Amino acid sequence: MKRMRPFIELSGGLLVGILIASVTVASPPPFRITIEGWAPYFSPKSAVVPMYTPIRWENPTATHHTITHDNCGKPNGACAFDSGPVPPDGVYELPGLEPGEYPYHCTLHPIMRGILVVTKGTMATKI
- The predicted model gives 89-114 an average pLDDT of 96
Residue-wise pLDDT for 14-65, tens only, equals: 555 545 555 555 678 999 999 999 999 999 999 999 999 999 999 999 999 9
Q: What is the pTM assigned to this prediction? A: 0.75
Pairing of strands 55-59, 7-9: unpaired
What fold does the segment set 27-126 form as a domain?
Immunoglobulin-like (2.60.40)
Domain boundaries, the chain: 27-126
Strands 125-126 and 100-105: unpaired
- Say whether the peptide bond before residue 40 is cis (omega within 30 degrees of 0): yes
